[in-house]
Amino acid sequence: MPTDRSKQTWNIITIVMLLYTALFMPYKVAFIDDDADNGFSGTLDWIVDTLFFFDIMITFFSAYEESDGSIEFRRCRIVKSYLKSNFILDLLAV
């Protein structure tokens, strides 16, 4: 359910990962040597990438709210809607 507490918690985690990616990655690309990227920063990047992959899987199984306010639970429609919207962008980002 879109209003479920666990889904809301996951959305907050996703927002934090997006903020990390948007704020730290440009700095890292510009100023941090690639050879020094095998420590904590490299591990954190791997974790964030893995969590973004899990986000794709979670989205395939998550109900969503239609424009008329109804909740769509049917798996086939959830998958079709996701494939038509953000799936390609999410997959390329991972």
- Sketch the domain layout of the chain as residue ranges: 5-25+43-93
For every one of its 94 residues, what pLDDT tens digit does the chain have, with 9 covering 90 and above?
Answer: 656 788 889 989 999 999 999 998 888 888 877 665 567 878 888 899 999 999 999 988 888 888 888 888 889 999 999 999 989 998 988 8
CB atoms within 10 A of CB 1: 13
- Residue 65: strand, helix, or coil: strand
What is this structure's pTM? 0.77
What residues does 64 pair with on adjacent strands?
72
DSSP state of 86: T
Structure tokens at 13: 């985690």
